[in-house]
Chains A and B, each alone.
Chain A
Amino acid sequence: MSVLVIEDEAKAAAFIRRGLEENGFTVVLSAQGDEGLALARTEAFEAIVLDISLPVLSGFGILAALRESGNTTPILCLTARDAVADRVKGLELGADDYLVKPFSFAELLARLRSVVRRRNPATESVLHIADLQLDLPKLRATRAGQRLELTAKEFQLLALLARRQGEVLSRTVIANEVWDVNFDSDTNVVEVAIRRLRKKVDEPFPTQLIHTVRGVGYVLEAGRP
């Protein structure tokens, strides 16, 4: 999967590139607006990570130019400015999602995957991860053939982790997707919810599926140390 990253901040560009490459993306980097726009027009990318404050041509300018010329590549905007007006403008110009700095890399990854996924949504209704099986329409979870007794929210949480297995999901993403809570809260609600879920999903079984990535978030993955 190839991604164009247009970002002029050298350190940020470097860690984004490295992180994305290690997660299986091919990354093309551009530090200038006009150059980035030219690249976006001439090569086919599966997604674009676009910083808003760029020299020569701003991210908004690139966004507008691309959408005007009919380019529909998913675009994830990055900005250090947290003005609602900015966010609204970005989305109006055709951005698919918006991340405010400082962001966690896991969140960038999750959002990037989700804007790409939005173009070609998965339609599976039964998920299998190792010996865990989730029947989404029936809201039924079993592990090693044993039925798991989960509350509605616990099932939603497990389904989210399972749908995006292997992806580290931040607390913010989880709170947003499961409880529709859109602010970064200080509470450890997500931690507690994960802990309770683990008691039912992991503790009775020999192998652990739900892992904590300290300082980042949680991931559901088979065979992770």
Chain B
Amino acid sequence: MTARLIFLQVLAVAALLGAALIVLYYSISAHLEEDNRKELASQSALLARWLADTETRAPGDPLIGKTRAELIATLPVFIRLLAADGRLLVESPQSPAPPRDAFPSPGQTAAGWRSPSRQRLLLSSCWLPAPPGQRAPLLQIAYDVSDDDTLLRHLRQRIGLVFALVLVLSGILTLLITRGVFRPLARLTAAAAGVHASQLNARINEAGWPVELAALAHEFDAMLARLDESFRRLARFSSDLSHELRTPINNLRGEAEVALSRQREPAEYRRVLESGLEECARLGRLIDTLLFIAKADNPAEGIRCRTLDGAAECRAVADFFEAMAAERNLAILVRGGGPVHGDPELVRRALANLVDNAVRHTAIGGHIDLTVREQSGRGTDIEVRDNGAGINAEHLPRIFERFYRGEKSPGQAHATSGFGLGLAIVKSIMDLHGGTVEIASTPGSGTTITLFFPGPAPGKMTEM
């Protein structure tokens, strides 16, 4: 990233600076050329007049009496005078002389010419003033501009030098700046690298971060906190799971071993086998349940939702528990109504788990109410309310966790109250439906659990 930034920065500087320097160079060189041309034009006009005026010089002029050739030889420019018929009248002695046809016609712009000795000459021509009726001689004039070339060459060298220097400097500067900017990132990286499963409680401490990174650092810490929590939950889950698995396997193994250790009555063997079957059924149910929750965590298959009659589903579940309720003289009442958008099997399973809990925790003669309430346009609530023992507030936050049992009572838990997975399943089912589950409880007066099923998403197929 740093290399890339430096590369891009240097590239940008090269492009901008290069363009600026090129424009500068060309404007200078154009300006010089223009000056030269103007100079040449005025010089040639002056010379033309001067050469024409040789006969009319003022008395005392030191040039009087000199021939044109002598005059020309004193000048720093190359001059060639041609008669109208093309005859050479006079020429500066410099050599090499630019050829005649290299000169532009009079009135045309000056042309450049380069001598074999690398001198650059600017060429121009004009007519000498002539008395009326005579054809005027042609003046060719060449002006040495080699000095300008040298100047421009120096300029080019300087420009190149400056260009290279600026590029190097900008590269170094970018490197320094980038380092400075990225130093917190490097610290963040180091902090992230220091996080291991064994020490998820480490935090990267928000203070001291630049504003731009504070949010990232904060989110990073929040992520660590979530991971930490998931990890703890997972660790707790696996330890609970291994306990749940060990118990029935231990029973199976121990009973079989003891039974086989000596000769017994057939009825004894029978009892052991029957007990083994019970443990197997327990294991099978545990596996089913765990698979169900695992699948709900990663719902690859999705669920098959359709619109159900909420009250009818509640009545079906109430029917299922009718015998149990009658046994304990509990009343299960279904009230209200409304459409529930859900997977019928899952909806029943969730309701059955809730009613099962309610039946188990409600004293003889109590009542359980299933209330279906349509929430205008949003979905439907199903509320399961009992007037049973209630749950202490300290258990509520964790009540939907797997294997969480409010009151630990190992002996009693085994046969009657299942694995402590009932509410975890309800939570999973509601997650699958995109719904929510809420619990409110007052010890001594009862528990209310509310399931919210959202309505079908608009424009979405009922088959999910």
Interface on A for B, CB 8 Å cutoff? Answer: 82-85, 100, 102-104, 151, 153-154, 175, 179-189, 192-193, 195-196, 214-216
Instruction: Tell me whether chain B's interface is mostly helix, strand or loop, or mixed.
Output: helix
Interface string of B314-334 (1 = CB under 8 A from A): 001001111110110000000
The answer to whether A187 and B352 touch across the interface, beta carbons within 8 angstroms, is: yes
List the count of A-B residue pairs having beta carbons below 8 Å apart.
81
Known interface pairs A82-B291, A180-B316. Does A189 touch B281 (Cβ–Cβ under 8 Å)?
no
The answer to whether A216 and B277 touch across the interface, beta carbons within 8 angstroms, is: yes
Known interface pairs A185-B352, A187-B352. Does A175 touch B281 (Cβ–Cβ under 8 Å)?
no
| CA A182 to CA B281, docked complex, whole Å | 16
Instruction: Tell me whether chain A's interface is mostly helix, strand or loop, or mixed.
Output: loop
Could you tell me the distance in whole angstroms from the C-beta of A100 to the nearest C-beta in chain B? 8
* Closest residue of A by beta carbon distance from B278: A215
The answer to whether B323 and A192 touch across the interface, beta carbons within 8 angstroms, is: yes
Known interface pairs A82-B291, A185-B352, A186-B422. Does A153 touch B277 (Cβ–Cβ under 8 Å)?
no
Residues of chain B from 269 to 322 with CB closer than 8 A to chain A in the complex? 273-278, 280-281, 283-285, 287-288, 291, 301, 316, 319-322
Could you tell me the distance in whole angstroms from the C-beta of B308 to the nearest C-beta in chain A? 13
Is B349's beta carbon under 8 Å from chain A? yes
The answer to whether A102 and B323 touch across the interface, beta carbons within 8 angstroms, is: no
Q: Knowing that A104-B277, A104-B281, A196-B327 are A-B contacts, what are 19 other residue pairs whose CB atoms are under 8 Å apart, sorted by A's residue number?
A: A82-B291, A84-B301, A100-B288, A102-B287, A103-B284, A153-B322, A181-B320, A181-B348, A182-B348, A183-B345, A183-B348, A185-B349, A185-B356, A187-B321, A189-B356, A193-B322, A193-B323, A196-B323, A216-B277
The answer to whether A186 and B283 touch across the interface, beta carbons within 8 angstroms, is: no
Tally of chain B residues near chain A (CB < 8 A): 35
Interface string of B327-352 (1 = CB under 8 A from A): 10000000000000000010011001
* Closest residue of A by beta carbon distance from B287: A102
Is B418's beta carbon under 8 Å from chain A? yes
Known interface pairs A85-B301, A102-B283, A184-B285. Does A214 touch B277 (Cβ–Cβ under 8 Å)?
yes
| CA A153 to CA B281, docked complex, whole Å | 25
| CA A218 to CA B278, docked complex, whole Å | 14
| CA A83 to CA B324, docked complex, whole Å | 32
